[in-house]
Amino acid sequence: MIKVGIYGYGNLGRGIECAIKQNPDMELVAVFTRRDPSTVKILTEGVTVYKTEDALNMTDKIDVMILCGGSAKDLPEQTPYLAKYFNVVDSFDTHAKIPEHFSNVDKSCKESGRVGIISVGWDPGMFSLNRLYASCILPEGKDYTFWGKGVSQGHSDAIRRVAGVKNGKQYTIPVEKALDAVRSGENPDLTTREKHIRECFVVAEDGADLNRIEKEIKEMPNYFADYDTTVHFISEEELQKNHSGIPHGGFVIRSGKTGWNKENNHIIEYSLKLDSNPEFTASVIVAYARACYKMSKEGQCGCKTVFDIAPCYLSLLSGEEIRKNML
Amino acid sequence: MIKVGIYGYGNLGRGIECAIKQNPDMELVAVFTRRDPSTVKILTEGVTVYKTEDALNMTDKIDVMILCGGSAKDLPEQTPYLAKYFNVVDSFDTHAKIPEHFSNVDKSCKESGRVGIISVGWDPGMFSLNRLYASCILPEGKDYTFWGKGVSQGHSDAIRRVAGVKNGKQYTIPVEKALDAVRSGENPDLTTREKHIRECFVVAEDGADLNRIEKEIKEMPNYFADYDTTVHFISEEELQKNHSGIPHGGFVIRSGKTGWNKENNHIIEYSLKLDSNPEFTASVIVAYARACYKMSKEGQCGCKTVFDIAPCYLSLLSGEEIRKNML
């Protein structure tokens, strides 16, 4: 059994807990929280919730520590720190800061002899893998990533910061016409506005100026100004009833040419349609936690990403079994 | 530069030649044929066509030998034989015999200290990879592979063996309704007939009994009897004009559940739409030829499949570059 610890227990941590239950070679041994452990109720019977400070007492009881904190403030500190004591996996997703994070985690891992896998999930993660595979197969081509339909946490937060807004949810939606143009092989150049639309469901405070709120949202720089944005005002009840899920998904499409005179076109498309963004992300992470364990057992160490890990490491099955059943 | 040899020069060999031209770190150094070399015209200027027997004189001039023979008779002999002298890549696609082929190639590679990568292409190959990744991420789920729309060589050959048939092409087409049912997450059990239809374009000999030909095709066991098959009689000119391409493609879809009570559904879909089946297969093989070269340079040896190879090995770019640009 692979003994797993969860460090941070929000939506992602709960997703990890659920995913561990679906993998018969894994066992949850501890959850660590910054909150008062007595206030944190988890789903798995018989597993103790500890304070984060207690983690270092359990270095011999945990094969892989899965970090479930945020990318903005938690992971840049936590992953390099914990990699000094544990094999670790995180879902660090600030694309621009990945090189720096990689280097920090690698340094800790090289000192401790542990394996650290960073930026695991679907983007970064499975989408990155598909961008890499497709670009290696079709070097003369172009790739496109579309996100959605799904809830963007950052954009929903931005809506809720507008004066007069009580609550809100934002959906990122790929533009069907743009998807079709990409799939046709015409390699279009697409502006931000042409690729995605943004749909907002807003609960306004009583008596708030709806026109002003709508205008403020639509003109918000970075978040909405570059997109065609629609704003729907709804009641809190309707928001809870119809918009409480956390679905997401998207598409990675590469269109490329082959042939002596580039006469043939090819489309590679990878897509996800997810009822629960955090649970799917967690499922990817747990598969890579298995890889982390296996690589560590082999004596490997250092920081890795999805690019560095042979697919067979993710599987519970032997090389023989996967060749026989899946090749 | 990675020095590549092509062993066998049919549609696949020509595809390899085209793909090498698209990869700036690769160079075609020789083509080997069982035919009289003077009768084989290749596309690349300045490259010599040799007899297959001459290959063993060139073990120090070729970094990777790409085998382009057939899976039925050529590769079971050629790959284990050439792996005694070269790093090799093949596209062996007889699914049931992969374990045996793997073991034969592995034995040769272990003796010679070379790397052999077998069963590279899209199925087996990219489709296999997607079945593996998706099943590791969503262990409680089901996966579906659909092929087409595309030309099946085996089924086209079967048509041409019917008495009174001069020429013919067969398209395998996935049933849209079945695709939709899978994408909806209902995890349907699908019969052979429900998954694919077969469409045949047949050129009959003058005066042949068309009803008898149609009946014989539709009732042919293994090939057509289990499918809804349509037969169109057309002229040789029309066949040449509209059906001379070799398109193919398909879908690998996994539908799976997550959540403490399996309350959330997820769909992972990978699809290919290919103008030229052999050129796309060749493009995948050439990317894995790079991996073969890099792994051999690292001192690895033995037989590998796509499951055993970390994605970064396929890329021309450094680890730093792919982390920065694709993660």
B123 to each of B101, B128, B194, how far by Cα in Å?
A: 16, 6, 21
Element (H, E) at A203: strand A196-204
Interface test with B, best of A264, A271, A298, A308 (most B CBs within 10 A): A264
DSSP A221: T
| Residue in B with minimal Cα distance to A258 | B279
Q: How far is A204 from chain B (nearest CA, A)?
A: 30
On chain B, the residues whose CB falls within 8 A of the CB of A15 are 258
Q: Where are the alpha helices (DSSP H) in A47-171?
A: 75-82, 98-112, 126-137, 153-160
3-state SS record for B196-255? EEEEEEEEECCCCCHHHHHHHHHCCCCCCCCCEEEEEECCHHHHHHHCCCECEEEEEEEE
Tell me: the pLDDT tens digits for A91-147? 999 999 999 999 999 999 999 999 999 999 999 999 999 999 999 999 999 999 999
Q: Could you tell me how many CB contacts below 8 A there are between chain A and chain B?
A: 213
- Provide the pLDDT confidence category of residue A250 given band limits of 50, 70 and 90: very high
Q: What is the pTM of this model?
A: 0.96
pLDDT value, residue A216:
97
Closest CA to A30 of B66, A15, A13, A158: A13
On chain A, the residues whose CB falls within 8 A of the CB of B135 are 315, 326
φ, ψ for residue A38 (rounded to 5)? Answer: -70, -15
CB count within 10 Å of CB A22 equals 18
Contact B269 A266 (CB under 8 A): no
Tell me: the pLDDT tens digits for A1-20? 999 999 999 999 999 999 99
Interface test with B, best of A23, A137, A312 (most B CBs within 10 A): A137
**Mean predicted confidence (pLDDT) in A201-207:** 97
- Provide the pLDDT confidence category of residue B111 given band limits of 50, 70 and 90: very high
Closest Cβ–Cβ partner in A139, A140, A273 for B267: A273
**Mean predicted confidence (pLDDT) in B314-323:** 97
Per-residue b/e over A47-61, b at no fewer than 16 CB within 10 Å?
bebbebeebeebeee
Residue B274: partners with Cβ closer than 8 Å, 6 or more residues away: A264, A266, A267, B122, B150, B247, B248, B249, B280
pLDDT value, residue A194:
97
| Mean pLDDT (chain A, rounded) | 97
Cβ atoms of A160 and A228 closer than 8 Å? no
CB count within 10 Å of CB B70 equals 16
Tell me: the pLDDT tens digits for A312-321? 999 999 999 9
Residues B123 and A205: their CA atoms lie apart, in Å, by: 56
The percentage of residues in chain B with a pLDDT greater than 90, rounded to a whole number, is 98
Closest Cβ–Cβ partner in A17, A137, A276 for B264: A276
The three-state secondary structure class of B175 is coil
On chain A, the residues whose CB falls within 8 A of the CB of B183 are 273
pLDDT value, residue A73:
94
On chain A, the residues whose CB falls within 8 A of the CB of B314 are 132-133, 136-137
Tell me: the pLDDT tens digits for B233-248? 999 999 999 999 999 9
Closest Cβ–Cβ partner in B264, B316, B327 for A98: B327
- Provide the pLDDT confidence category of residue A272 given band limits of 50, 70 and 90: very high
Q: Tokens 């928001």 correspond to what residue?
A: A239
Residues A196 and A227: their CA atoms lie apart, in Å, by: 7
On chain B, the residues whose CB falls within 8 A of the CB of A305 are 323, 327
Closest Cβ–Cβ partner in B258, B307, B312 for A307: B312
Closest Cβ–Cβ partner in B139, B315, B324 for A22: B139
On chain A, the residues whose CB falls within 8 A of the CB of B47 are none
Interaxial angle between packed helices A98-112 and B319-326, expressed in degrees from 0 to 180 and rounded to the nearest 10: 130
On chain B, the residues whose CB falls within 8 A of the CB of A314 are 132-133, 136-137
Q: How far is A268 from chain B (nearest CA, A)?
A: 5
Complex ipTM: 0.96
Element (H, E) at B291: helix B277-297
Q: How far is B326 from chain A (nearest CA, A)?
A: 6
Residues B91 and B95: their CA atoms lie apart, in Å, by: 11
pLDDT value, residue B296:
98
The percentage of residues in chain A with a pLDDT greater than 70, rounded to a whole number, is 100
